[in-house]
Structure 1
Amino acid sequence: MNTLEELNFTDNIFEKLHNFCLNKTEYRIPAFPKLQKLHMAVNDLMDTSDFLQQRFCLQQVRFLNISDNLFQKLTLFAFYGMIYLQTLIIDDLCAVVMDNTSLSSTSLQTLSIGRIVERKDKEFRNIFLNCPNIKVLQIRNTDFSTTDVRKMLEPLKSLSSLTIVYGGIQQMTFLNDFTNLTYIDYSFNRIKEISGNFFQNLTKLNQFILQSNGLNNINQTFLPDFLWKKKNFLLDVSSNPFDCGCQLEWFRVWVENNKDRVIGYPNKYICESPLELKGRSLSEFDPASICHKINPYIILASISCGLLSILIFTTSLLRKFRWDIRYYIYICRNRKPMGYKRFTDDEEYLYDAFIAYNTNDRKWIMSELVRMLERNHKYKLCLHERDIIPGGVYVDDILESIDTSRKLILVLSDNFMDDQWCKYETALASHTLADGDGHKLFLILLGDIRSEHINSSLKVLLNSTSHARWPEKKTDQRIFWQTVKQFMDNN
């Protein structure tokens, strides 16, 4: 027997081997010096002390499987003397009692536990306190609903593979401290949501399994960005109750572009809601047709904004060109279809000139312009304050007065440019110029005009029509009046 490398205990040979080992260890002679793999299926009521009290006999064992036995308990430091033990399988010990030291082993690297449903204190938080070198941990059918799993796993800093299935876990474990993890399996639990912050440090993670939990929505924050982009990363979230609505759009698009990285897709990815998609594959959920329909309220809001913009734009145009519009309305209303009426040389005008001015400049108009042109040279001038009879439509009266005047003189000043009616008269002058009657126009500048008042229309008038600046010096005024009189005498 001392040449055995692998041994399977059965009911028939367990007692003989037990006695053989016991006799050998009394003389401190290893019974199985080459035995490395040991499988026990005795199926009798006992505890680990029945086969481990002769630890010297089994000290070379590296693989130990004691599954499907009727152990009543795992004794204190049950495996501590097996100094080469690397793999321990203790599945389906459905009535075993254990404590915080039962799994003590500094050599243990792989541990598989299944259906340990009884504990002395009903709490598993410290069971791995004395086995810090475990790299692969598999736990099945053990209730952790009242256990702080993160605290339980805390001693296992070397973990590279973690499996906890059918554990009754409702919240995902914070695993950022376990930076060596390459594999995580939390299938058949009750997890409903996950945050990528729980895996931010797991740069080595290659596979994550969350099959058959309570996930109904998966978005971009479910995992860190580097895992979504990692080419060799595999994800299994099959058999979850997905809500195939617009909140799942991001994941649906990601799956479509990464089918080779999604385990079980599409057959095991079934919609639980909404009702029209229940029982159908996630692949049949088309976000483009469902999530990007134009909301009627958005359409209504867009139309309203458009109409409001048009109204504001139209109002601005009407305000800017109100005088031009009034002018054309007058033309259309009062002129013949083939064009407006012009006075011929044989016809007499009512006035020699219409004077457009601001009432604040009345003093200069009366003391200088009227005195010189009317009293001294006998020209008949039309002044709106004096010659336009109140009671009519003022716009029409001004147009009528300009039409019945041989000349149009604009007396420009800052006061003039601030006046709305003067701006109207400037617009009329621009139309007169555009109609080819620029010879009828004359501009008198009473002083320097501020730059903000010199708009494009006024620039055109100054560049295209005769004008003269009123001089302060008496000696220069004679030339000024000669210029004005020459304009008045020209036909």
Structure 2
Amino acid sequence: MGRLQTLVADNLRGVALDNMSLSSRSLQRLSIGRLVKTRDRDFTKMFDNCPNIKVLNIMNTDLSVIAVTKMLAPLRDVSSLSFVNCEVNEIMNLNNFTKLAYIDFRNNRIKKIQARVFQNLTNLKRLDLSNNRLNNINRSFLPGSLWEGKDFTLDVSLNPLDCGCQLEWFRIWIENNVNRVIGYPGRYICDSPSELKDKSLSNFDPASECHRISPYIILICVSLALLSLVILSIYLLRKFRWDIKYYIYICKNKKPSGYKRFTDDEEFLYDAFVAYNTKDRYWIMSELVQMVERNEKHKLCLHERDIIPGGIYVDDILESIDTSRKFILVLSNNFMDDQWCMYEAALANHTLADGEGHKLLLILLEDIRSEHINRSLKVLLKSTSYVEWTKNKNGLKIFWQTIKQFMKK
């Protein structure tokens, strides 16, 4: 039968084949079953001599113990493949059969579809996996072009579906492609969870079932909020620790009502407290002390010279400022990098806030870099008198004259 193209023998009670039983290169369509395997005959090489089959249908045959991929290897041009009621447990990798347009695996025992078993089958028009044991439909087993295309149809009816959140994407896909799903909704029945058992997949509502806020998520959010609050509190305490210490000091040393400050200068131990960075010591001693103390006879309070070590430094600073008639800040980039200097600058701001801005004078030793110009410094520069150090002859006259006038007020 060298011209035989179609052979239908699918109601056999059982037949054993060898590699010569289907020896026909003209055969293109074959429907056969039920086949039986014997000790010396199996199906592995049954298509070696009929490689031009394009439509293959095997029915009612146990293929669970057969190397199906090896059996199909000669059929590189097959376009339609059916294994109906063949005890198939899993879908073999069919990526080498790129011309497949129709696949029918009805009435088998398939529980799971591995990812990428159909990735190369971009010409697939219909896939029938009905009446198997699937409980989940994995999006990755088909190429994205098939899910998005309009010509592809799918039948996964009569499977014991687990209608949980892992099936949310499929439920949404069906709603958007209902004309491409065979047997929906009547033959798509949920096997689990218990509240949806024996009900249609259409009763599964992902919006209400899968997007509830879990109590664990709420607990995590509350924990993160508390942690953020603790971190923020630590940050603020560290950033404003000197202000807090200053207010505590003010509260502990609050003056009784009716108190009036004496205007007599004899109550002050110093004419001015000088806040500066130790790296600017040379300028302090050679310029400021020389002019203000030795030439003008004013007494300055310098922390390196006049504050005796051994006490609480913060208290010593506050006491020295209280016993000084004036408050001078010698600002430089070194000053802005020093935490103790910034504490003294904070005290200057509080002095300004108490309405005693006339006691303050800022000396700018150099141009302050932009990263050091914070809000506190801006307030001081805007609200307080300041003078800039310069080596210009006329500028020096103005500089020293300003300091002299300030000390005499």
TM-score by length of 1: 0.71
In the alignment, which of 120, 140, 144 is matched to residue 59 of structure 2?
A: 140
Q: What letter corresponds to residue 439 of structure 1 in structure 2? A: H
Paired residues for 1:202-241 under 5 Å: 202-241=121-160
TM-score, normalised with respect to structure 2? 0.83
Shift of 1:433: 3.4
**1:38 corresponding residue in structure 2:** none
Q: Are 2:219 and 1:296 equivalent residues in the alignment? A: no
Aligned to 1:439: 358
Change (3 A) 1:388 1:343: farther
Letter in 2 for 1:424: Y
Match of 2:117, SS? helix
What is the DSSP-based 3-state SS (H/G/I as helix, E as strand, rest coil) of the residue aligned with 2:58? strand
The reply on whether 1:424 has 2:343 as its aligned counterpart is yes
Of residues 145, 165, 179, the one that matches 2:84 is 165
- Relative contact order, higher structure (CA 8 A, sep 6+): 2
Q: Deviations over 1:267-292 (max 9, x none)?
A: 22222233343322222233333333
Partner of 2:168: 249
Tell me the distance in 2 between the aligned counterparts of 1:413 and 1:118.
Answer: 96
Q: Does the residue aligned with 1:410 lie in a helix, a strand or coil?
A: strand
Residues 398 and 97 of structure 1: is their aligned pair in 2 closer, same or farther, counting only changes over 3 Å? Answer: closer
Contact 1:171 1:191 in 2 (8 A): yes
Query: Is residue 106 of structure 2 the alignment partner of residue 178 of structure 1?
Result: no
From the superposition, tell whether residues 240 and 489 of structure 1 become closer, same or farther in structure 2 (CA, over 3 Å): same
Find the partner of 2:48 among 129, 136, 160.
Answer: 129
Tell me, in whole angstroms, the C-alpha distance in 1 between the residues paired with 2:288 and 2:9.
120
Give the drift of 1:471.
6.9
Equivalent residue, structure 2, for 1:271: 190
Question: Which is greater in Rg?
Answer: 1
Where does residue 69 of structure 2 map in the other structure?
A: 150
Whether the aligned pair in 2 keeps the contact of 1:269 and 1:281 (CA below 8 Å) is: yes
Partner in structure 1 of residue 180 of structure 2:
261
* Helix, strand or coil at the partner of 1:429: helix
Contact 1:98 1:120 (8 Å CA) reproduced? no
Per the alignment, residue 190 of structure 1 pairs with 109
1:336 is displaced (CA, Å) by 7.2
1:208 Cα offset (Å): 0.6
Task: Verify: 1:311 aligned to 2:215, yes or no.
Answer: no
Contiguous gaps of at least 5 residues in structure 2: none
Q: Is residue 386 of structure 2 the alignment partner of residue 457 of structure 1?
A: no
What's the secondary structure of 1:317's corresponding residue?
helix
Please list every run of 5 or more consecutive structure 1 residues that lacks an aligned counterpart in the other structure: 1-79
Q: Compared with structure 1, are the counterparts of its residues 106 and 457 closer, same or farther at alpha carbon in structure 2 (3 Å cutoff)?
A: same
Q: 1:114 aligns with which of 33, 45, 52?
A: 33
- Deviation, structure 1 residue 479: 6.6
**Larger displacement relative to structure 2 (173-182 or 374-383):** 374-383
Q: d(CA) in 1 for partners of 2:334 and 2:313? A: 20
Question: RMSD of the alignment, in Å?
Answer: 3.6
How many angstroms apart in 1 are the aligned matches of 2:407 and 2:25? 119
Q: Secondary structure at the match of 1:197?
A: coil
Q: Say if 1:179 and 1:201, in contact at 8 Å, map to a contact too.
A: yes
Q: Deviations over 1:171-214 (max 9, x none)?
A: 21322233332211011112222235332332221111011222
AA at the equivalent of 2:232: F
Q: Residue 349 of structure 1 contacts residue 406 of structure 1 at CA under 8 Å; is this kept in 2?
A: no
Aligned length: 408
Matched residues in 2 for 1:275 and 1:387: separation?
84
